[in-house]
Amino acid sequence: MKKSAIFFLLVLLSAFPPLSTDMYLPAIPLLQKTWQQPLTVVNLTLVCFFVSYCLFLLVYGPISDRCGRKPPLLVGLVLFIVASLLCALSTNVGSLILFRVLQAAGAAAAAALAMAMTKDLYRSEERVRILAWIGVIMALAPAVAPILGSWLMVWASWRWIFVCQAAVAAVALIGVLRMEETLQEKSNTSALETATIYLQLFRNRRYMAYALMISLVVLPHFGYIAGAADIYITRFGLSEQTFGYLFAINALSFMSGSLLCTRLLRWMSPGKVMSLGFAGFLLGGIIMLLRLFPDPWSLVLPMIPITFSLGLSRPPSNNLVLEQVDRNAGAASSLLVFIFFIIGAFAMWLISLDWSDKVQVIGLLATGVGVVTLSCWTFLARREARN
């Protein structure tokens, strides 16, 4: 399989989380009305998805270290396809939550092992650039997904959103079947030894400190993802199609941040790029709290520097964490993504509560993240310099 084909397969696999969530977001207010359920219940289809996704990340990583990346990828993709079709057949919110949990179990294989495969295939400096380019192209998924989902609701129904997700997974399945195994040295660890690997990672203070620090940046981002449909459609009275276009603005901001990251890394250290990204969260949060613009721009415009900063800081941040381990890259990448998305699931639950002003809540999250990450990164960088 050619390098270009492998690269685009990695992009497609990395895009499973946004494809599985953002395409479905425009349907949330409709399902609230159709099934007569509050947002806190309907949003469990998002929260439970990410909780299940996080738990299965911890399973696929070690399995892939023992069996190779390809077998668990095939299992996960088949499970995702079946679960997506079951989601399309759901008749109530309970069954949709259940099938979304199964869908997440399949999606976890794609995203976690895509990151592990980058460590298999690329060296450190090249891997940073690859991760950045993956971020650039992957940002098209959350930009296009809600627009496609909203128009599927106009042309057909919300059920076709999940049929479309199954079709995308089928394309990825064909790609995985054609690729060669990327892991050259397989691990011989048992299930008990696998648990020990995670304990070792938890005891790796450098790994955990960096992983927790960089994962905080998802708080405003996932709060926005879970709350955007309710804010734009229910509270601001916009159409599903308008919501899709406004959501795409922020997704393109993420892509722009990742694209700039690839340029800046040519003449700036990864640490400085991360510092710029963390400062962007603080800037966006302050602008949002000041409410300088009328609705809906009071949310749209401040989210631009926030999502831009996420795209800018994520590639060097991911690489920094993976550099803290020499072995068991699958488990290390799985635990990293687990921490990332479990914090994201918390943000989704938080924003689903009956806040009087959800825009202010997102602004507070962004401001807090900017202050904490800048402070922690400054402290850790200075300590590393002394050592």
Nearest to 319 by CA among 307, 304, 329: 329
**What angle separates helix 3-14 from helix 93-121, to the nearest 10 degrees?**
150
pLDDT band at 360 (very low <50, low <70, confident <90, very high): very high
Nearest to 48 by CA among 20, 27, 73, 75: 20
Between 45-59, 93-107, 275-289, 364-378, the lowest mean confidence (pLDDT) is in: 45-59
- What pLDDT shows up at residue 136? 63
Q: Is the pLDDT of residue 233 over 70?
A: yes
Q: Is the pLDDT of residue 1 over 70?
A: no
Q: The tokens of 51 are what?
A: 């909780």
**Cβ neighbour number for residue 89 with a 10 Å cutoff:** 12
Q: Is the pLDDT of residue 126 over 70?
A: no
Between 16-20, 61-65, 172-176, the lowest mean confidence (pLDDT) is in: 61-65
- What pLDDT shows up at residue 358? 93
Percent share of the chain, pLDDT over 70: 88
Query: Average pLDDT, whole number, for the chain?
Result: 83
Cα–Cα distance between 379 and 55 in angstroms, integer?
Answer: 31
Between 29-43, 180-194, 252-266, 271-285, the lowest mean confidence (pLDDT) is in: 180-194
Cα–Cα distance between 149 and 169 in angstroms, integer?
Answer: 16
**288 φ, ψ (degrees, to nearest 5):** -65, -40
Supply the pTM of this predicted model: 0.77
- What pLDDT shows up at residue 367? 95
Strand, helix or coil for residue 35:
helix
Q: Print the domain residue range for 382.
A: 3-386
Give the domain CATH number at 102: 1.20.1250.20
Q: Is the peptide bond before 296 cis (omega within 30 degrees of 0)?
A: yes
Domains of the chain: total? 1
| pLDDT tens per residue across span 57-86 | 778 777 777 777 788 889 999 999 999 999
Between 19-28, 357-366, 376-385, the lowest mean confidence (pLDDT) is in: 376-385
| Diameter over CA atoms, the chain | 61
Q: Is the pLDDT of residue 262 over 70?
A: yes
- What pLDDT shows up at residue 22? 81
